[in-house]
Amino acid sequence: MTVSIRAAQRGEASFLSDLALRSKAHWGYDAEFLASCREELTLKDAELAGRRTAVAERDGSVVGFMTLEGAPPQGVLGMMFVEPRAIGEGIGRLLFTHAVETAEVLGFTQFTIDADPNAEPFYEAMGGVIVSRVPSGSIPGRTLTQYLRTVEPPEHIAAGLV
């Protein structure tokens, strides 16, 4: 099964927002927590292009998406979510690689990632370096680990060892 990455299309924002919430829920967050995150995880069709939203598609179905935001040289991996049934199948790695390649083409030298605790091992494996703790955008008092990722791939990723 081949996975392709393409730009998000107008009309997909609602589906992608629902995918983000399903993906977040996969990690055992309760309904109250998810309700608090809803606004932060909601995309609008008018902002898909500006946020450089890309989707991963397999067999005609969207299985993940990411946004690469900001202006060179410093960007932000704003969102990255994988359909729960596809977690662990390499979709996140493909989306992250796409983010790095896109960042390089656009002239970014680095980007930050505010990581959910469940995603921290993934971002570390993808070459992210912890730089700070930042407040959550949706949950008062909650902090997230912020990673910095340079655009050049670390050797272990370039060699396909992750």
Domain count across the chain: 1
Residues of the chain with pLDDT below 70 are: 1, 153-162
Question: What CATH number is attached to the domain comprising 63?
Answer: 3.40.630.30
What's the DSSP call for residue 144?
A: E
Range of the domain at 82: 3-158
**Among 156, 143, 70, CA closest to 110:** 70
> Quick one: pLDDT at residue 5?
98
